[in-house]
Structure 1
Amino acid sequence: MLLKHLRSALALCLFSLCFIPSSHAEHWVYTVVDGDNLWNFSEKHLDKVTRFEQLRRINNIAEPTRMKPGSVIRVPMAWIKSNVVPARIHSITGQAEIERAQGKEQLQASKSMEIYLGDIIRTGENSGVAIKFADNSIVSIFDQSIVRFDHLSAHGSTGMVDSRIKLLQGRLSSQVTTAVGPGSRFEIHTPSAISAVRGTAYRAVADDSGEISNIEVVEGKVAVSGGKSQTLVPAGFGTQVKAGEAPSKPKELLPPPSFKAIPAAIRQLNWRLEWNKLADAKAYRTEIADNEAFETLLWQGVSKHNKAALPDLPDGEYYVRVRGIDELGLEGLERMTRFVLDARPQPPLPLKPHNKQSYRGECPTLQWTESTDAQRYLLEIASDDQFKTVLLKEETSARTFDSNAIAQLGDFYWRLTSIASDGEHGPVGVTRHYNVKPIPKEPDASLESTNGKLLASWEKTGEGQRYQVQIARDKNFKHIIVDEMTEAPQFEFDPHSGNNRYMRVKTIESDGYESPWGSTQVIEGLPDNSHWALILGIIAILII
């Protein structure tokens, strides 16, 4: 009988030892709060409520029904209940598709849609999805990326969450919540690397071939594994992992660039954003979002130059960030700033007159295009390009204006502003310049004889003028015998004998404008005395 009791006691001891974890096993440490007892604690957190007795033993709890607030309980992780918890689409821009693990159903992604174990998300061009996990960690999946959700679970209501995803292709960034216990886990896998993170922010890139992955740590530290090796990458550093190889030595990321001046309100579409060059940057990435968290992007682009034209976005407040990209493709630390776009309604484009066009003695009709954003237009005409002396300022729904309303000579500057149906004035359009000059006076030449020559002269009416002189045998100038240009307001020529000839002059201004021909002048021929010479010659012969 005694031997039987000894065997039973030994069996009970061995049974108990099976549930006592070793000192090296992971434990969740819980701090007791008022109202806790071992029974309700076990019911809430353990996979089996019957474990409460084993929990009492390993923690030496004397009064399980009245535990002291502030005391701690060590719980083996293997005893804590685990349950599947879906992730959720927190925000989305553009188009994304979800492939369900169950049934291979294809769905268009939308905000608040749940993501389950095994699901795959594919983002389209210029699209993005932000995923929120059970512990409030956020992963932003950028355009043309593919991500599979390999593990989504939580340890009851302990706050410990186990999430593992695989970036099959593309880019993502993560903002991971700080771990609350040993059961907390967050891993991002790529075809060539595994990144284990907790309480950090970092970016991951997987190239289309699956052969190369880049990991860039912005905050905290990330343990990166590849080729059976592991490297700890601190904040401000990145690593590249090739398939089957160890992660490269952590490399310091490029510093953030500095933006050049940005106006308080950008009034021009496609305004050019600029920043300083980074010595080792091979390219730059620019991203725009409607909030400073950048969970999803409205636009992104990569350029070799330290500038980027802003995309055509609705008026509003935005955030932009820029970072350099080095020769490995590692993207550096970023600079972010806020900007306000107020570029609508867009002004129309002026059509006529052409900029700096000149008119003679007449005022032009101004013409412009139709702006789809505008209900009407504000037209301004001034005598100076700063519009300090405004000659006309009026609203019109037309797209033409007869400037004879301000008929006068001089220089004129005009511009247009669109006005929306709600009365909002858009940015001022481009300034165009035209001038109205007098018609040059028709040159009336006067003739005089000097030193055996004839000299025609006329009045000079402006600087830089040239003159065209024509002499013809007929008053209709069909038979022209002289056609010359002169810069002097006079023209000298030899007299002629015989029939009359005709002369006219016109002025050519410095800008190429040609005046009408002046009045036609008659040049009388000298008397022809050749027959008297013949008669006198005959008489002389006869006398001899």
Structure 2
Amino acid sequence: MAGRTDGRAACFFLALVSLVVCFAPSIARAQQNVGTVTQLTGSAQIQRASLTVSVAQGTAVELHDQLATSVNSSATVTLTSGITLTLAEHTNLTFDQNVTTGGTGRNTQLNLFEGGLRSIVPVLLRTESFEVHTPNAVSAVRGTDFDTTYIEGRIRPGYEGCQRYTDVRVREGVVAVSNLANPAEVVEVSAGYETTVPCLLSPLSAGPLGIAGAVGPGAAGGKGGSGGSGSAAAAAIGFAAPPPGGGTSAPPPPPPP
């Protein structure tokens, strides 16, 4: 009798193990999904580990995916948290963190390596956070509509010697902007204002849109001095970018020879 009971227990255990083995990959993949491509103009690609995935409307975006848009292209990604991201042309973005704590709090971190990004963030809970990182700046929000652009390989007037800029323009809400080299120096940018983070310097004092010289997604002046020019991507984001210039803070002096 005991042998029969042990046999039934062994069969039940094997059946349970089989179910776990079968469904574990699906569960793990579902946990990795962070959003979906809801709009696409032109073409874009996702680099997922060693795979290159062609993007189409409805393509799932997973944690650690690197999404890149092509020339005259734009893509909109709707995250599972309700955040909407619109990538301009020549934009390279990585989804680095999408952590849920206790089933409610969510910490989202994106890395913008190149190009322009519009982020529409619903009002977040106290346990939630949303940050956009560039190679030289961090933009942290609680609920807002703002644009982040990272430009590399171009010198702006008054900033000779600097060829890296992060521009932040706020449409709604408040964004706290800092430089990775000095995170304690934070500039809060309110709706209707903008700031620029040049190289390793602190962010400029916020100025009205069009005054601080922040360049918008899709505007000319991308990597190597080349970029979009009134493209469909810029139109999709609805961005009119002013020419680069000085902000409300005085530009740094030129470096010594």
**TM-score interval, smaller chain:** 0.5 to 0.7
Aligned mate of 2:46, from 93, 98, 107: 98
* Cα deviation code 1:250-290 (max 9, x no counterpart): 111139xxxxxxxxxxxxxxxxxxxxxxxx99x99999xxx
**Alpha-carbon deviation of 1:231?**
1.1
TM alignment of 1:14-53, pairs within 5 A: none
Cα separation, 2, equivalents of 1:319 and 1:174: 13
Following the alignment from structure 2 to structure 1, what is the Cα–Cα distance between the partners of residues 201 and 132? Answer: 18
Query: Who is 2:62 aligned against?
Result: 116
Alignment RMSD (CA, Å): 3.2
- Structure 2 residue aligned with 1:165: 110
Match of 2:86 in 1: 140
Tell me what 1:185 maps to: 129
Check whether the contact 1:225–1:231 (CA below 8 A) recurs between aligned residues: yes
Residue among 195, 203, 217 paired with 2:170: 217
1:327 matched residue in structure 2: 244
Does residue 1:86 correspond to 2:34, yes or no? yes
Whether 2:158 is the aligned partner of 1:241: answer no
Given candidates 151, 154, 173, the residue that maps to 1:207 is: 151
Taking the aligned partners of 1:220 and 1:149, their CA distance within structure 2 comes to: 23
> For residues 222 and 206 of structure 1, do their structure 2 counterparts lie closer, same or farther at Cα, with a shift above 3 Å needed?
same
Q: 1:206 to 1:248 in 2, by over 3 A?
A: same
* C-alpha displacement of 1:183: 2.1
1:175 matched to which residue of 2?
120
**What CA distance in whole angstroms lies between the structure 1 residues aligned with 2:191 and 2:67?**
28
Distance in 2, matches of 1:284 and 1:147, equals 16
Deviations 1:59-78 (A, max 9, x none): xxxxxxxxxxxxxxxxxxxx
**Given that residues 85 and 154 in structure 1 are in contact (C-alpha distance below 8 angstroms), is that contact kept between their aligned partners in structure 2?**
no
Offset from partner CA, 1:61-108 (integer Å, 9 cap, x none): xxxxxxxxxxxxxxxxxxxxxx6552221211111010003xx21111
Please show how residues 458-537 of structure 1 align to structure 2 within 5 Å. Answer: none
1:114-513 to 2 correspondences below 5 Å = 114-158=60-104, 160-180=105-125, 182-209=126-153, 211-226=164-179, 227-228=181-182, 229-254=185-210, 301-302=229-230, 321=238, 323-328=240-245
Distance 1:84 1:93, change over 3 A: same
Q: Work out whether residues 147 and 217 of structure 2, in 8 Å CA contact, stay in contact via their aligned partners in 1.
A: no
How much has 1:143 moved relative to structure 2?
0.5
Cα deviation digits, residues 152-182 of structure 1 (max 9, x gap): 2223542x322110110011111011112x2
Q: State the 1:243 CA deviation.
A: 2.3
Q: Give structure 2 stretches of 5+ with no counterpart.
A: 1-30, 154-162, 220-227, 248-257
What are the superposed Cα offsets for residues 231-252 of structure 1, whole Å, 9 maximum, x if unpaired?
A: 1111111111122211111111
| Mapped contact 2:45–2:52 kept (Cα < 8 A) | yes
CA distance 1:319–1:149, shift in 2 (3 Å): closer
What is the alpha-carbon distance in structure 2 between the residues aligned to residue 329 and residue 140 of structure 1? 27
In 2, the alpha carbon distance for the partners of 1:284 and 1:206 equals 9
Contact between 1:134 and 1:154, CA under 8 Å: does it hold in 2? no
Q: Does the 8 Å contact 1:87/1:115 carry over to 2?
A: yes
Residue 27 of structure 2 aligns with which residue? none
1:146–1:329 Cα change, 3 Å: farther
**Contact 1:85–1:153 (8 Å) recurs in 2:** no
Once the two structures are TM-superposed, the CA of residue 324 in structure 1 deviates from its matched residue by 4.7
More helix by share: 2
- Give yes or no for contact 1:164–1:186 (8 Å, CA) kept in 2: yes
Q: Give the secondary structure class of the aligned counterpart of 2:152.
A: coil
Q: Deviations over 1:471-502 (max 9, x none)?
A: xxxxxxxxxxxxxxxxxxxxxxxxxxxxxxxx
- SS of 1:254's equivalent in the other structure is coil
Q: Distance in 1 between matches of 2:217 and 2:92?
A: 20
Number of residue-to-residue matches in the alignment: 195
Change (3 A) 1:329 1:143: farther
**Greater relative contact order structure (CA < 8 Å, 6+ sep):** 2
- For residues 181-200 of structure 1, the C-alpha deviation after alignment (integer angstroms, 9 at most, x for no partner) is x2211100011100001210
- TM-score, normalised with respect to structure 1: 0.33
Q: Provide the TM-score with structure 2 as the length reference.
A: 0.67
Contact 2:137 2:178 in 1 (8 A): yes
Q: Deviations over 1:327-373 (max 9, x none)?
A: 3399xxxxxxxxxxxxxxxxxxxxxxxxxxxxxxxxxxxxxxxxxxx
Question: How far apart are the structure 1 equivalents of 2:218 and 2:52?
Answer: 32
Deviations 1:178-232 (A, max 9, x none): 112x221110001110000121011011013472111111110000011312111
